[in-house]
Structure 1
Amino acid sequence: MNDATLHPIGEVARLTGLSVKTIRFYSDAGVVPLAGRSPAGYRLYDHDALLRLDLIRTLRELGMSLATIRRVLDRKVPVADVAAVHAEAVDLQIRTLRMRRSVLRALSAQGSGPEEAKLVHKLTRLTAVERRRLIDDFIDATFGAEHARPESAAMMRVAAPDLPDDPTPEQIHAWVELNELIGDEDFRDRLRQTAAQQTDEALAGVRERVLAAEQAGIDPLGPDAAPRVEGIVQLYARAHPDLADAEVTDRLMQYLEAAEDPRVERYWRLVWAVNGWQVLPGLLPDDLSWLLRALRKERGQGVSP
């Protein structure tokens, strides 16, 4: 093709695949200048106009506004810079669409009603930063300055739930249930108690002795449990010389009762579900119900069968 060749608008439409109306609009907007007019007054375009139209179509398909395209064509802004910004915007759109798709799949699989659908949508439409802030606020309120549990707070942050951009229906339902759970102040008290004890090195010895008693088949309500329980209490007392004798058992029972709360284990299972982690039984809250039952019997408290 001769670069000096001029083309009427109909031929330009055929060569570019754009409609006559669209080409006329770009001309009137000043982004594709005319090369001239025919004796009859029809618009004529040169080879440069064809190249500009091809670039405009490409940039429009990428989502750029006409004002931005004008700046690119006038060389006021590099195409690379504009492309980088739009790539980020497209990434955000993709993440939003993935989350929306996941929510729809979760609602469909669960057969959810209007109220649950509203709640799921509300919680999942939060940005990743907002979701992280929600968890940070929960950790601060549970272990922050008022409660002075920095070690526990650090441990909780390491294992914080982080909903992915393209979650499974199971992850979405776990995230919704987790949000309901962390809003329960009574649960926060329980979690605070168990997390605080995780840094108590004396509990390692307690766990070992409880496990040994269970493996030996000793009934926590039977007579053979008494010397085992006494040894465990003495072990814990040596690690806490600041506590009076009665306070040792009280402290131990407080931890055991908190750890027995099924919501504590449920919290960690939900965290693993949201994060897509494999559930490892060894990382669940300690099952020290043997010791709790034995201590309750010694104190004459009601013991569940």
Structure 2
Amino acid sequence: MSDPTEMLTIGELARRTGVAVRTIRFWSDSGVIAPNGRTTGGFRLYDAGAVARVELVRTLRELGLDLDTVRQVVDRQVTVRDVARAHVRALDAEIRTLRVRRAVLDRVARQDSTTEELRLMHELARMSADERQRIIDDFVRETFDGVDAQAPGAHIAQAMGTMPAHLPADPTSEQVDAWVELAELVSDEAFRRRVREMAVAGARGGPRPAGPDPAKVAEHAGQAVRDEIAPASGEGQEILHRIVDPHLPMSERALLAGQLATFTDRRVERYWQLLAVLNGRPPVPSHVPAFEWLIAALRSHA
């Protein structure tokens, strides 16, 4: 056991703690590890308790605390618990920042982005949750302006208008990536025109041929896509007749194909998939390729 009255030179303190003499001297000069006295020659002396203080300071510094905060802990002006809580919050903020930077750089690495695109992606990724929400709300409002969401068949206007994205304040890397893609998507004028076309058509109402059972489309047309069966082939016709009535008049087949084409779009489906990512919901499976196959088959055998 150490003698509590024992005094240590700075070199002895360094040997006992494994901390370099120059580091202890710097901490002493900064007022973090004050000496308890000096020799007649003016050299610093430390008591046995300085060993524990040096080890505490080393631990706090390795955890990233600045010297002013360390000094407050050593002087017992604040508790280690309070400091830890504050630094957890600071580290969380830093992690969020790094996550955003990583997502942007990863996206740039995967595509040949210009300097301007890089700047825009970084700005989009740094937006607050409220700012991100406003972009989606503006898209919905402008795209569906004047469309009666209560009209028969206006399901797209209702879905996009009443189910805005609940964008997280602390997004994951995947969500940052999804947000950048979504922001680019809703800013695209061609996409806005396409969504409005779907909304207007849905709100128009009027008689329409009964649509196919989506489960049958997913099962049969989906399998045809996976098996690479041509819609215009004889086998394609057999599959078509498992989905729609083989006796469906040719004129109604053409009408049904046109109706399905109006509401079938890969980028619109991607909109819902990105929203699912941003809302932390299960992935949205892709059904568009199956419906595209069905549309081609209806037109080929009309």
TM-score normalized by the length of structure 1: 0.63
Asked if structure 2 preserves the Cα contact closer than 8 Å seen for 1:265 and 1:285, the reply is no
Give the Cα–Cα distance (whole angstroms) in 1 for the partners of residues 261 and 89 of structure 2: 50
Give identity over the alignment, percent.
39
Give the Cα–Cα distance (whole angstroms) in 2 for the partners of residues 191 and 116 of structure 1: 24
Q: Report the equivalent of 1:278.
A: 283
Asked if structure 1 preserves the Cα contact closer than 8 Å seen for 2:165 and 2:275, the reply is no
Query: CA 1:209–1:28 in structure 2 vs 1: closer, same or farther (change >3 Å)?
Result: closer
Q: Report the equivalent of 1:60.
A: 61
Q: Secondary structure of 1:278's match?
A: coil
Q: Report the equivalent of 1:215.
A: 244
Asked if structure 2 preserves the Cα contact closer than 8 Å seen for 1:163 and 1:175, the reply is no
1:83 positional shift: 0.4
Asked if structure 1 preserves the Cα contact closer than 8 Å seen for 2:144 and 2:199, the reply is no
Give the Cα–Cα distance (whole angstroms) in 2 for the partners of residues 285 and 197 of structure 1: 21
Asked if structure 2 preserves the Cα contact closer than 8 Å seen for 1:36 and 1:45, the reply is yes
Residues 81-92 of structure 1: pairs in structure 2 closer than 5 A: 81-92=82-93
Query: CA 1:216–1:257 in structure 2 vs 1: closer, same or farther (change >3 Å)?
Result: closer
1:155 positional shift: 2.3
Is 1:93 aligned to residue 100 of structure 2?
A: no
Is 1:180 aligned to residue 184 of structure 2?
A: yes
Q: Report the equivalent of 1:268.
A: 272
Q: Report the equivalent of 2:125.
A: 124
Residues 128-147 of structure 1: pairs in structure 2 closer than 5 A: 130-142=131-143
Unmatched tracts of structure 1, length 5 or more: 233-252, 295-304
Query: CA 1:106–1:184 in structure 2 vs 1: closer, same or farther (change >3 Å)?
Result: closer
Give the Cα–Cα distance (whole angstroms) in 2 for the partners of residues 166 and 184 of structure 1: 23
1:39 positional shift: 2.0
Asked if structure 2 preserves the Cα contact closer than 8 Å seen for 1:99 and 1:167, the reply is no
Give the Cα–Cα distance (whole angstroms) in 2 for the partners of residues 285 and 139 of structure 1: 27
Give the Cα–Cα distance (whole angstroms) in 1 for the partners of residues 17 and 199 of structure 2: 67
Give the Cα–Cα distance (whole angstroms) in 1 for the partners of residues 208 and 8 of structure 2: 86
TM-score normalized by the length of structure 2: 0.64
Give the Cα–Cα distance (whole angstroms) in 1 for the partners of residues 117 and 72 of structure 2: 47
Give the Cα–Cα distance (whole angstroms) in 2 for the partners of residues 8 and 163 of structure 1: 50
Give the Cα–Cα distance (whole angstroms) in 2 for the partners of residues 14 and 5 of structure 1: 15
Asked if structure 2 preserves the Cα contact closer than 8 Å seen for 1:16 and 1:54, the reply is yes
Asked if structure 2 preserves the Cα contact closer than 8 Å seen for 1:269 and 1:279, the reply is yes
1:82 positional shift: 1.3
RMSD: 4.7
Q: Report the equivalent of 2:109.
A: 108
Q: Report the equivalent of 2:33.
A: 32
Give the Cα–Cα distance (whole angstroms) in 1 for the partners of residues 164 and 198 of structure 2: 12
Asked if structure 1 preserves the Cα contact closer than 8 Å seen for 2:129 and 2:168, the reply is no
Asked if structure 2 preserves the Cα contact closer than 8 Å seen for 1:187 and 1:263, the reply is yes
Give the Cα–Cα distance (whole angstroms) in 1 for the partners of residues 207 and 95 of structure 2: 47
Query: CA 1:47–1:139 in structure 2 vs 1: closer, same or farther (change >3 Å)?
Result: farther
Asked if structure 1 preserves the Cα contact closer than 8 Å seen for 2:10 and 2:44, the reply is yes
Query: CA 1:201–1:182 in structure 2 vs 1: closer, same or farther (change >3 Å)?
Result: same
Q: Secondary structure of 2:76's match?
A: coil
Give the Cα–Cα distance (whole angstroms) in 1 for the partners of residues 25 and 56 of structure 2: 16
Query: CA 1:58–1:209 in structure 2 vs 1: closer, same or farther (change >3 Å)?
Result: closer
Q: Report the equivalent of 2:152.
A: none
Count of residues in Structure 1 that have an aligned counterpart in Structure 2: 262
Query: CA 1:157–1:98 in structure 2 vs 1: closer, same or farther (change >3 Å)?
Result: closer
Unmatched tracts of structure 2, length 5 or more: 150-156, 218-239
Query: CA 1:136–1:201 in structure 2 vs 1: closer, same or farther (change >3 Å)?
Result: same
| 1:183-241 Cα distance to aligned partner (Å, 9 max, x none) | 13564354356468889999998435998996124677x35x39x97xx9xxxxxxxxx
